[in-house]
Structure 1
Amino acid sequence: MAHMLIIEDEPAIRTVLAEVFKSAGHDATLAADGMEGVAAFRAQPCDLVVLDLMLPKIDGFAVCELIRQESDVPIMMLTALGAEADELRGFELLADDYVTKPFSVKVVLRRAEALLRRAAHAPADGADGLLRCGDVALDPAGRTVSRGGRPVELTRTEFDVLELLLAHPGRAYTRDELLALVWHYEFASDPKIVNIHVMNIRKKLGAGLVATVRGIGYKLGTA
Structure 2
Amino acid sequence: MNVLVVDDNESVADSLAFLLDCYGHHAVVAYDGETALALLRTGTFEITFLDENLPDIKGSVVARSLKETPIRSRAFLVSMTGDADSQGDFARLFDVCLQKPFSCEALMQVIEDARCSSDAVTLQAA
**Residue 158 (structure 1) aligns with:** none
- Identity score, percent: 25
Q: Which has the higher contact order (CA 8 A, sep 6+)?
A: 2
State the distance in 2 between where 1:123 and 1:47 align: 12
Task: Give me the whole-angstrom Cα distance separating, in 1, the residues matched to 2:23 and 2:40.
Answer: 22
Cα distance, 1:75 vs. partner? 0.7
* Alignment partner, residue 107 of structure 1: 105
Q: Is structure 2 residue 63 aligned with structure 1 residue 87?
A: no
TM-score, normalisation: structure 2: 0.87
Mark the runs of 5 or more structure 2 residues left unpaired by the alignment. Answer: none
1:57-93 deviation per Cα after TM superposition (whole angstroms, max 9, x unaligned): 110110011122313421111001011xx11211122
Worse-matched range after superposition: 109-118 or 8-17: 109-118
Does the aligned pair in 1 maintain the 2:33–2:56 contact within 8 Å?
A: yes
- Alpha carbons 1:20, 1:109 under 8 Å: kept: no
How far residue 112 of structure 1 moved from its aligned partner, in angstroms, is: 2.9
Answer 1 or 2: which has greater helix percent: 2
Query: CA distance change for structure 1 residues 108 and 7 in 2, over 3 Å: closer, same or farther?
Result: farther
Q: Offset at 1:53?
A: 0.4
Give the superposition deviation at 1:107. 2.6
**CA distance in 2 between partners of 1:77 and 1:10 (Å):** 15
Distance 1:123 1:72 in 2: 10
Matches within 5 A, 1:22-37: 22-37=21-36
Give the aligned partner of residue 5 of structure 1: 4
SS at match of 1:57: coil
1:74 — aligned with what? 76
